[in-house]
């Protein structure tokens, strides 16, 4: 959020905390026994061409899991829409039973800076991206 009358976006100066209104008690989730860890990766890129390509994160993740031979089964949800997620979860429940996925990774939007821009931001006072 940015007020056009101010020089910087609010998020740079004020923490924003979002909380949903809890109207029902949390659901208890139980994962089914499985010889593999079943991982669902949901990738959403709302900025389209301005965002990091979904393969930038997902491909190295899957490659590392395959190389480590950890016994992880990965399913991808693309496009990363709510409807596609619901359909994937319903299909997994229908095909394998409730609790098929042990973890869901939400790989959401992001951006990359060219190295020169990153270096310039690191040198600017009060503008560090890393600690």
- The encoded tokens of residue 110 equal 């992001």
Q: What is the pLDDT of residues 55-78, one digit of tens each?
A: 666 778 788 887 877 788 999 888
Does the predicted TM-score (pTM) go above 0.95? no
Contacts of 41 (CB under 8 A, 6+ apart): 58, 61, 74, 75, 76, 77, 104, 105, 107
- The per-residue pLDDT for 128 is 44
Cα-Cα-Cα-Cα torsion 20, 112, 128, 17, nearest 10 degrees, comes to 0
Q: On the CB side of 27, how many CA atoms lie within 13 Å of its CA?
A: 4
| Domain boundary assignment for the chain | 32-110
In this prediction, residue 65 carries a pLDDT of: 81
Best CA proximity match to 45, nearest among 6, 79, 5: 79
Residue % of the chain over a pLDDT of 70: 63
Q: What would the pLDDT profile of 3-43 be if each residue is shown by its tens digit?
A: 678 777 655 665 555 566 667 777 777 778 888 889 999 88
């Amino acid at each position: 959020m940015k007020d056009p009358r101010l020089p910087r976006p609010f998020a740079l100066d004020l923490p924003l905390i979002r909380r949903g209104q809890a109207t029902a008690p949390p659901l208890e989730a139980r994962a089914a026994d499985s010889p593999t860890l079943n991982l669902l990766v949901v990738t959403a890129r709302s900025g389209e061409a301005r965002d990091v390509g979904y393969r930038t994160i997902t491909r190295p993740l899957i490659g590392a899991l395959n190389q480590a031979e950890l016994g992880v089964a990965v399913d991808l949800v693309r496009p990363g829409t709510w409807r596609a997620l619901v359909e994937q979860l319903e299909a997994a429940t229908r095909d394998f039973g409730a609790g098929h996925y042990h973890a869901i990774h939400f790989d959401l939007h992001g951006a990359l800076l060219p190295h020169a821009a990153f270096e310039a931001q690191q040198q600017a006072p009060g503008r560090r991206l890393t600690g």
